[in-house]
Homo-oligomer: A and B are copies of this chain.
Amino acid sequence: MGPSANGPNMIPIHLPRGFRASAVHAGIRRNKTRLDLALLEADEPRPLAAVFTKSLLLGAHVTVCRESLAQSKGFVRAIVVNAGNANCNTGPKGLEDNRAVAKYTASLLDCEPAEVLFLSTGIIGAQLPMDRIVASLPGLCDGLREDNAETFAKAIMTTDLVHKLVTEDLSGGGRLAGFAKGSGMIHPDMATMFGFLLTDVALEAEPHELLKRVNARSFQRMTIDGDTSPNDTVVLWSTGLAGEAPPDTLEPAVTRVAQELARNIAADGEGATRLVTIRVKGAPSEEAAVLVGRTIGTSPLVKTAIHGRDPNWGRIIAAAARAGVPFDPQRSSLAIGGAVVYRAGLPCPENETAAHEHMLKEFEVIIELDIAAGAASAECWTCDYSADYIRINADYRS
């Protein structure tokens, strides 16, 4: 059974066993109809692995969460998330505010402050409206429910046009639920990507290594504009209430859910009109395939060509050829939507119409490049660049 993304339906989605969620409008965002403060809770402190942004610029939560996870040895009871304000570039007060919210939430849930993580996303350079957040926390805790998955997914959105929620039932009876947010790095000045991977299946002894492998094959393979946010955070968290998963089933399932979330983020890229899947084959290593795919997926020239539905093999080959991976463009081949547009150093103009039709008709444009330099492959995801991307990002902050 593959992962299923959440479409419009009437049946509330239940979280994996032991998890509950809640969300309220605390007044962090101006829009009063939008949820902006959310809570995920486990039945008791449960093992959690986290990976944070590699940027040198860090949101306050990155610093405090690392401290808390070290202190709690990775056992987490609750995660509070706010949207609308990233608590980044807020100095020592930003750190204090983060700790205060964790501490107050811990008192409401009757656990240790280090067992509560508080994550922030939204604009940078502004202090959190602490009075409103603190005033909303009791109601937030009171609202915890097992079937609030969709509410949580909606509450963490910032510039996202759609919420990102993917679930998968495991063969042994366990469940996975994944949430993500992010649609571009910063609008107008925003710290962005979150991924939450929840399961009731017991994690292996070293969940951090598992999460690193999953992250490398999912969120790390998606790009909107090549920028990295100071707040990017991905967590893997398990109650273990469903026991062990059958051998060799957990990691592939978590990877599928995370990849589907990553594809959802790419598809919701700012101004995007196409999801672009880039498959690189024949690479000397998986890392090399990723490097080539990511270079193609970051090229403004490739992304604008896709927006123009232009099967522009030249820009794709040229991007690959500067990725730093040794290969011979004269031995490579390239297909768009299955139509081979470049082979052995020469274009195949007879197939350009078929490639153009694929780009016109399909929301997901599929680019397959074989660099004939090995046996490894990888898939990356991006979106096209439209004039709307410029409009969204060039508006003067008001």
The reply to whether the CB of A374 lies closer than 8 angstroms to some CB of chain B is no
Q: Are B397 and A329 in contact (CB under 8 A)?
A: no
Q: Are A189 and B312 in contact (CB under 8 A)?
A: yes
Q: Are A310 and B54 in contact (CB under 8 A)?
A: no
For this chain, the copies found in one complex come to 2
Q: Are A56 and B328 in contact (CB under 8 A)?
A: yes
When C-beta atoms are compared, the residue in chain B nearest to A327 turns out to be: B56
Q: Are A225 and B301 in contact (CB under 8 A)?
A: yes
Q: Are B346 and A124 in contact (CB under 8 A)?
A: no
The reply to whether the CB of A226 lies closer than 8 angstroms to some CB of chain B is yes
Cα-based distance from A54 to B390 in the complex (angstroms)? 30
Q: Are B314 and A394 in contact (CB under 8 A)?
A: no
Q: Which residues of A293-317 are within 8 A (CB) of B? A: 298-301, 304-305, 307-310, 312-315, 317
The reply to whether the CB of A136 lies closer than 8 angstroms to some CB of chain B is no
Which residues of chain B are near A91, meaning CB under 8 Å? 345-346
Which residues of chain B are near A327, meaning CB under 8 Å? 56
The reply to whether the CB of A326 lies closer than 8 angstroms to some CB of chain B is yes
Q: Which of B227, B310, B322, B347 contacts A227 (CB 8 A)?
A: B322
Cα-based distance from A389 to B184 in the complex (angstroms)? 19
Q: Are B386 and A301 in contact (CB under 8 A)?
A: no
Cα-based distance from A227 to B304 in the complex (angstroms)? 13
The reply to whether the CB of A284 lies closer than 8 angstroms to some CB of chain B is no
Q: Are B389 and A321 in contact (CB under 8 A)?
A: no
Cα-based distance from A321 to B395 in the complex (angstroms)? 23
Q: Are A230 and B318 in contact (CB under 8 A)?
A: yes
Which residues of chain B are near A14, meaning CB under 8 Å? none
The reply to whether the CB of A229 lies closer than 8 angstroms to some CB of chain B is yes
Q: Which of B55, B88, B315 contacts A186 (CB 8 A)?
A: B315
Assuming the A-B contacts A57-B329, A318-B185, A318-B229, are A304 and B347 also in contact, with contact meaning beta carbons closer than 8 angstroms in the complex?
A: no
A397 to chain B, nearest CB (A): 6
A322 to chain B, nearest CB (A): 4
Q: Which of B56, B184, B385, B397 contacts A322 (CB 8 A)?
A: B56
Cα-based distance from A86 to B32 in the complex (angstroms)? 56
The reply to whether the CB of A212 lies closer than 8 angstroms to some CB of chain B is no
A214 to chain B, nearest CB (A): 22
- Best-surrounded residue of A189, A300, A305, A342 (most CB of chain B within 10 A): A300
Q: Which 7 A-B pairs have the closest CB atoms?
A: A308-B394, A304-B393, A57-B321, A56-B321, A189-B314, A387-B387, A228-B322
22 contacts between A and B (CB under 8 A): A55-B322, A57-B318, A57-B329, A89-B329, A189-B315, A226-B299, A226-B300, A227-B299, A227-B300, A227-B322, A228-B322, A230-B318, A300-B385, A300-B393, A301-B393, A305-B393, A307-B394, A308-B393, A310-B395, A310-B397, A386-B390, A386-B394
Q: Which of A's residues lie within 8 Å of B, judged by CB?
A: 54-57, 88-91, 124-125, 184-186, 188-189, 191, 225-230, 298-301, 304-305, 307-310, 312-315, 317-322, 326-329, 342, 345-347, 356, 385-387, 389-391, 393-397
